[in-house]
Amino acid sequence: MAASNPQSGQDKLELVDGSKVAVIGGGPAGSFASYFLLEMAERADLDIEIEIYEPRDFSCVAPGGCNMCGGIISETLVQNLAAEGINLPDTVVQRGIESYVLHMDVGTVRIETPVDEKRIAAVYRGAGPRDIQVRKWGSFDHHLEELAVARGAKVTRGRVTQISMDDGRPSISVKGGEPKTYDLLVAAVGVNSPALKLFKDLDFGYEPPQTTKTFIREYFLGEEVIAKELGDSMHVFLLNIPRLEFAAIIPKGDYASVCLLGEAIDKELVDAFLNSDEVKECMPDDWEPEPRSCQCSPKIAVKGAIQPYGDRIVFVGDCGVTRLFKDGIGAAYRTAKACATTAVFEGISEEDFRSHYWPVLRSISRDNAIGKVTFSATKVIQMLPFARRAMLRMTQKEQSIPERHKDISQVLWDMFTGSAPYKDIFTRTLHPRFLGRLCWELLASAAPVRRSHP
C-alpha cells in the first residue's frame, strides 16, 4: 500500500489513508458514489473522508427538495440494490408498478409484468409537490443520502461557488466559507445544476452533455381515486402528436405524475396531450388539466459528456453519461460504482479513469446509439395508423393467451421501464418469430378495427 501521507509527492495518484474526497451533488449519483467509495475503502483497509456538498434538503417539499424526475425505479435497479443490501422501504415507495397500460388512438392494452411481481417502484425524489398536506411517504434521494451518511459521509448544506486546482489538487469554495483542498473530486451535479458551469475553467477537456427539455406536472387526485382510475399501472401513450416522443402518467400515492418527452415541448404540445381523448379516458370524469399541483421542465442528457475525467476529478451520473430517456437512476448507480471501484482499487489519475472507468461509460453511450434507432422506429409506428393497429393486435393476442410467447410485450415492457439494454431489446425484434408475427399483423391491419379496452 502507498505511503499514508496523502500530501506526499508520490508518482502514482491514488487514495491512501487520510485521503479526502469531495462529492458535489447529493442526488443518487453522488450518494451512490459516496456509499461505494466508503464501502470499498473499508474492504481495502483504507481510511478516507468524504464530504458531500448539496445545498438542497431532499426531505423538503416542492422545489427546495425536488430533483425534477419522473421517479420510476426500474426492476433491474431494484434487484441490483437488493444484491447490495440496499432495500427501498415502504415509506419511500409510493406505489409498486405491476403493469403498464399502453394507450393509442386505435385502442388500449394492458401489459402485465413478465414475472408477475411488483418490482418497479414509483417514488418522489423530494418529499412531494408544492401543495402536499400530509407527508405519508419519504424522499428517495434523502433515503440514499442517509445511507451514505450512515457509511460515514459528511453532508455540507452549502452551494459551491468556485472550483479550482491548488498544487494539482481540486479546491472547493462555498459561499461564506474558506477554500478546502481535496485529493479527489467526484462531480455528481446533474445537467440541471448551475454548478456545472463551474467546471468550464478547469482545463482538462471536459464538455457537458447535450441536453433536451422534458415536462413534468403533478396532479392531486387522492389515494382512493388513484387506486380506482390508475391502479398499480403506469399509463403510457403512443399518440400521433407532432413533436411528442413519449408520454406517461405515473400513479404515486395521492398524486399522478404526467411526464412528456419530445422536441421543443411547449404549451401547445402540452395542451394537445392533456386534452386528448386517450388521457381524459384514464383520468377521473371531473378532471381538468388546470389547476395542477406542481410543474417543471427539467433538462435531460441525450448525448454523453466529452472527457468526463481528469487527474483527481471524475464525473458520475448524467453530467457524465446516462441512459437515453430511461433508467437515469440506474445509470447513476452503474457509473458511481464504476467510479468507486476505479478510485479505490486502480487509482485516481486521468489514465486510471480512462482505462477502468471510461469503458463503462462508453458501453452506455454505445447502447444509447442503438436506443435512438429503437425510438425512431417507435416514432414511425406512432405516425402510421395501420402500424399502431398491428402493434395493438399483436400485444393483445400475447396478453390474452397465457402460453403464447410474449415477444412484443417483453419488448414494450423493457422499452417503457428501461430494465434491459437497448441492444438486447433491438436484438429481440430481429427474432424470426417476432418478425413473422409483426408482418402478419401489419398485413391484417390494413382494414380498421373497432377500438377496444382492457
Q: What is the CATH number of the domain that holds 277?
A: 3.30.70
| Angle (nearest 5°) at CA 283 between 279 and 284 | 145
Using pLDDT thresholds of 50, 70 and 90, give the confidence band for residue 454.
low
Domain identity same for 292 and 308 = no
Q: Are residues 324 and 352 in the same domain?
A: yes
Does residue 4 register a pLDDT over 70? no
Q: Is residue 410 part of a domain?
A: yes
In this structure, the answer to whether residues 147 and 54 fall within a common structural domain is yes
Q: How far apart are the C-alpha atoms of 266 and 270, rounded to whole Å?
A: 6
| Whole-number pLDDT of residue 391 | 95
Cβ atoms 330, 418 nearer than 8 A: yes
| Tens of pLDDT, residues 142-180 | 999 999 999 999 999 999 999 999 999 999 999 888 999
For the stretch 74-103, pLDDT in tens is 988 999 999 999 989 988 998 889 899 999
Q: Which three cell numbers stand for residue 71?
A: 421517479
CA distance 319 to 163: 16
Range of the domain at 277: 211-300
If DSSP codes are grouped into helix, strand and coil, which group holds residue 310? strand
Quickly list H helices, 174-222.
none
Q: What does the pLDDT read at residue 9? A: 44
Give the residue from 319, 342, 368 where a domain finishes.
368
Q: Are 101 and 282 in contact (CB under 8 A)?
A: yes
User: Cβ contacts of residue 236 below 8 Å, gap of 6+?
Assistant: 100, 101, 102, 103, 246, 247, 248, 416
**64 CB-side CA count, 13 A:** 6
Among 368, 399, 416, identify where a domain stops: 368
Residue 166 lies in a domain: yes
The predicted structure's pLDDT at residue 52: 98
Whether the per-residue pLDDT at 26 is higher than 50: the answer is yes
With 0-12 CB in 10 A as exposed, 13-18 as middle and 19+ as buried, what is 298?
middle
Q: H or E stretch including 210?
A: strand 210-220
Are 248 and 148 part of one and the same domain? no
Mean pLDDT across the chain: 92
The proportion of the chain whose per-residue pLDDT surpasses 70, expressed as a percent, equals 95
Residues 45 and 179 in one domain: yes
Q: Are residues 323 and 387 in the same domain?
A: no
Please compute the mean of the pLDDT values over residues 383-402 and round it to a whole number: 94
Say yes or no: 56 and 162 in one domain.
yes
Q: Provide the 3-class DSSP secondary structure of residue 71.
A: coil
Q: Is residue 285 part of a domain?
A: yes
Cell 421542465 belongs to residue: 297
What 3-state class would DSSP assign to 301? strand
pLDDT at 7 over 60: no
Torsion, Cα 83 85 90 95, to 10 degrees, reads -20
The reply to whether 243 and 364 lie within a common domain is: no
The domain boundary residue, chosen from 285, 300, 315: 300
Select from 143, 128, 120 the least CA-distant residue to 32.
143
Asked if 96 contacts 121 with a C-beta cutoff of 8 angstroms, the reply is yes
Given a cut of 50, whether residue 431 has pLDDT beyond it is yes
Average pLDDT over residues 26-52: 98
Q: For the segment 131-142, what is each residue's pLDDT rounded down to a tens digit?
A: 987 788 899 999
Average pLDDT over residues 41-60: 96
Residues 202, 323, single domain; the answer is yes
pLDDT at 54: 96
Q: How many domains does the chain have?
A: 3
pLDDT in tens, 237-255: 999 998 898 899 999 999 9
254 and 234 share one domain: yes
180-181 and 169-174 beta bridge pairing: antiparallel
CB 285 within 8 A of CB 255: no
pLDDT for position 452:
52
pLDDT at 95: 87
Average pLDDT over residues 56-74: 89
**Distance, CA of 140 to CA of 80 (rounded, Å):** 16
Does 176 reside within a domain? Answer: yes
On whether both 215 and 296 belong to a single domain, the answer is yes
The pTM assigned to this predicted structure is 0.93
pLDDT of residue 5: 44
Whether residue 453 lies inside any domain: the answer is no
In a domain, 247, yes or no: yes
- 76 with 121: CB under 8 angstroms? no
Supply the pLDDT for residue 6: 44
Rounded Cα distance between 251 and 121, Å, is 10
Pairing mode, if any, of strands 107-112 and 99-104? antiparallel
pLDDT at residue 453, rounded to an integer: 56
228 and 197 in a common domain = no
